[in-house]
Structure formats: structure tokens, C-alpha cells
């Protein structure tokens, strides 16, 4: 039965494949190579001029598409977006894939577009993979607002930045430095290896720490994929690999909660510092039992709220996404569109045992 793998046959097969590859390679000289083609910027959005006094139309259909459903962070952002939609009397829908993968969002964007949604609010799992779907949705008349995690700026109208990269990175590094005395080994527990915003923050954190806290050594970055169990196991693995670890930074809400749960039940409780980005409701018990001293986050409810108002302003024609335009976002006040269609929410809030009970999200 295995005679077909005789030496002669194998040799023949391998030679054949090699020749085929060679022929194809040489034949393809002068083919399509990288950097040859100019990308033509073509979002579907109309390049109309803005009218700051335009009314937000009634019954605006607003679709909210997070990276994945059942993520507490996005549930809070969704509540904010829903509240804002209620204020301007729109129709609100929340949808989304059950796993945070780049391609799974595409069919949900197509669905929203097919339903005739006026405003799509989304946080991208990949800056490029959902681009063509968003382009199609925009040519079909939807306004696209990204929040939390941006796409290629060509593919959306406005991006709501929760805080600047520098602000987020510096806050977390300052917190860990404060808790470790500014020295020792520090590890990072991130979300997925491809998460756009996490990777940007990690790079900025390492840069900032190298400049401000030279005695902090970043020894590893591990990925919990925003899954509770995997994040828990990765934390366990970190402490086994680096017994002298002084602190962990987890710039994701799922990660920091799982890490805190592991630490609070281990011998490392109080020994290894933990900070990062978490929600007060998930972290309350670990702050109260002393596992965690402080952590940070912007208010995701305000993020969703602002995103919905920005989408409404786009749909109404108050803004087009050009730099310098302003719009009103309900109780949050007035915001200005910055370069590349970015709107910044503000600085992150630091939560400690003193103030954590003032927040409920």
C-alpha cells in the first residue's frame, strides 16, 4: 500500500514541483508587486459641505457592532449609545459576532447595510479586513463611526478616540511604577495578538517606560485573546516563568479581571502588582481585598454616547469628518473633529479604593 512513495516516484514528484515553481516564478517576472499600484482613496461617503445647524432627522436607524458580543466593556458602551439614540429619537440595534475575529464582523456589516441602517458604530477587529464591507455600506448611504479600535481612516467617516495613545500608555506605566517602586520585571497580558489598539499602547508603554523608568524591565507580552480562561492560564504561566515578576499590566478588561482572580487566590496576592484597563464593577472585589491598588479606564458609556451623537451629526450633515468641524454631543457638550476625522473623548479615569464606589459600569 505504500509502494507509491517509492524513491523514484518521490524524486519525480519533487522534480516536477520544483520545475513547475521555477517556470511560474520566471514567467511571472514583471508581475504585480508591492508598492506598484497607487491606492485610490475612495470612501463611499459624499463629500458634501457641512451644515452645523442641520437638524438630526427623526427615526435615524443606528446599528452598534462591537468587536464581539458578551464583552462587558462593549455592553456598557452600547448602553451609552442606546441612551444617546433615545435622546435624538432614533431606532437602536445592537448586533455582533460571538468571537472577536476580523472576518466575522464583515457579514454583520453587510447585514446592517442590507437593513438600511443610517449610522453604523463599530470597533474594528482588524484595521483593513472590514474596509471593503464598510465602503460598500457607505456607498449604500450609511455613515460609519468607529470607536475604541479604528480602521484605516479611508474606510470610515469619524473615529472616536477614547483617549490619546500617550495618555493611556503613560497612565498605566505611571500606575505600575508607583506600585513597584519603579523597578523590577514587568509583564504585559494583552488581548489578541492582532488587536490594533493594544499593540499601539504596548509599544507606547515600552517607549515611555524606557525613558521615564529605566529600572522597569519589560520581560514578556502574553495574549489571553480576551478570553477569561485563557487570560487566567497565561497569568499563571507568567508567574511560573518569571518568579521574580514585580508587576503585570493588562490593557484589556477581560485580561485584568482574570489576572486579578488568579492573583487573589494565589500566594502572589499583594506581592505582584497588577494594573491596566478594567471596569469598576469587575474589579471592585479585587480592589477591596487588596489584590489591586489602582487601575484606569475611560468611561465606555461616554464613549458609546459620543459615538452615537457623532453618527447622528454625520447623518444630519452637521459634520462630514473634516478637521475643525464641531458638533454637540448631548450632555457631554461640544466636540471638535481633529485631523484624519478623529474625535478625542478625554483622559482616562484612575480608579482606587477611594473612588471606585462612585462608578457603576
Contact set with other proteins (CB under 8 A): 1-5, 17, 20-21, 24-25, 27-37, 39-40, 69-70, 93, 95-99, 101-103, 106-108, 110-111, 114-116, 126-132, 152, 192-194, 199
Smallest distance, other proteins to C-beta of residue 270, A:
32
Nearer of residues 36 and 267 to other proteins, judged by Cβ = 36
Nearer of residues 131 and 175 to other proteins, judged by Cβ = 131
**Residues paired with residue 335 on neighbouring β-strands, in sequence order:** 327
Pairwise CA distance, residues 156 & 260, whole Å = 36
Answer whether 109's CB lies under 8 Å from 334's CB: no
Provide the angle, in degrees to the nearest 10, between the axes of the packed helices 104-114 and 131-139: 0
Smallest distance, other proteins to C-beta of residue 78, A:
12
Smallest distance, other proteins to C-beta of residue 234, A:
15
Answer whether 335's CB lies under 8 Å from 310's CB: yes
Answer whether 120's CB lies under 8 Å from 77's CB: no
Pairwise CA distance, residues 145 & 304, whole Å = 10
Nearer of residues 17 and 353 to other proteins, judged by Cβ = 17
Smallest distance, other proteins to C-beta of residue 186, A:
19
Smallest distance, other proteins to C-beta of residue 5, A:
6
- Cell 518569571 found at: 242
Nearer of residues 41 and 240 to other proteins, judged by Cβ = 41
Smallest distance, other proteins to C-beta of residue 187, A:
16
Nearer of residues 11 and 132 to other proteins, judged by Cβ = 132
C-alpha cell at 319: 459634520
Nearer of residues 24 and 211 to other proteins, judged by Cβ = 24
Torsion angle, CA of 213/216/219/221, rounded to 10 degrees?
A: -50
DSSP assignment of 292-348: -SEEEE--HHHHHHHHHHHHHHHHHTS--S-TT-EEE-GGG-EEE-BGGGEEE--PP
Amino acid at each position: 500500500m505504500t509502494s507509491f512513495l517509492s524513491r523514484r516516484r518521490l524524486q519525480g514528484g519533487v522534480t516536477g514541483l520544483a520545475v513547475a515553481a521555477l517556470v511560474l516564478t520566471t514567467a511571472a517576472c514583471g508581475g504585480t508587486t508591492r508598492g506598484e499600484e497607487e491606492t485610490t482613496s475612495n470612501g463611499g461617503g459624499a463629500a458634501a459641505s457641512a451644515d452645523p445647524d442641520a437638524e438630526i432627522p427623526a427615526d435615524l436607524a443606528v446599528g452598534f457592532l462591537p468587536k464581539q458580543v458578551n464583552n462587558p466593556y462593549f455592553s456598557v458602551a452600547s448602553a451609552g449609545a442606546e441612551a444617546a439614540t433615545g435622546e435624538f429619537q432614533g431606532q437602536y440595534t445592537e448586533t455582533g459576532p460571538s468571537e472577536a475575529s476580523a472576518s466575522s464582523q464583515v457579514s454583520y456589516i453587510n447585514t446592517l447595510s442590507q437593513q438600511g441602517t443610517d449610522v453604523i458604530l463599530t470597533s474594528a477587529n482588524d484595521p483593513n479586513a472590514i474596509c471593503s464591507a464598510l465602503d460598500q455600506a457607505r456607498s449604500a448611504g450609511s455613515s460609519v463611526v468607529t470607536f475604541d479600535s479604528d480602521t484605516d481612516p479611508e474606510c470610515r467617516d469619524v473615529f472616536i478616540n477614547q483617549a490619546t495613545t500617550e495618555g493611556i500608555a503613560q497612565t498605566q506605566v505611571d500606575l505600575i511604577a508607583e506600585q513597584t517602586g519603579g523597578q523590577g520585571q514587568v509583564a504585559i497580558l494583552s488581548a489578541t495578538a492582532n488587536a490594533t489598539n493594544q499593540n499601539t499602547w504596548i509599544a507606547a508603554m515600552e517607549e515611555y517606560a524606557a525613558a521615564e523608568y529605566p529600572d522597569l524591565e519589560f520581560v514578556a507580552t502574553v495574549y489571553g485573546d480576551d478570553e477569561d480562561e485563557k487570560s487566567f492560564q497565561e497569568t499563571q504561566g507568567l508567574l511560573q516563568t518569571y518568579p521574580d515578576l514585580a508587576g503585570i499590566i493588562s490593557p484589556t478588561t477581560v485580561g485584568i479581571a482574570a489576572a486579578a482572580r488568579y492573583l487573589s487566590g494565589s500566594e502572589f496576592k499583594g506581592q505582584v502588582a497588577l494594573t491596566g484597563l478594567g471596569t469598576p464593577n469587575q474589579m471592585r472585589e479585587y480592589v477591596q481585598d487588596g489584590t489591586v491598588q489602582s487601575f484606569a479606564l475611560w468611561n465606555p458609556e461616554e464613549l458609546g454616547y459620543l459615538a452615537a451623537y457623532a453618527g447622528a451629526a454625520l447623518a444630519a450633515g452637521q459634520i462630514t469628518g473634516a478637521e475643525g468641524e464641531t458638533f454637540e454631543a448631548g450632555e457631554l457638550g461640544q466636540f471638535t473633529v481633529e485631523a484624519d476625522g478623529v474625535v478625542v473623548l478625554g483622559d482616562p479615569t484612575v480608579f482606587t479604593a477611594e473612588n471606585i464606589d462612585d462608578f457603576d459600569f
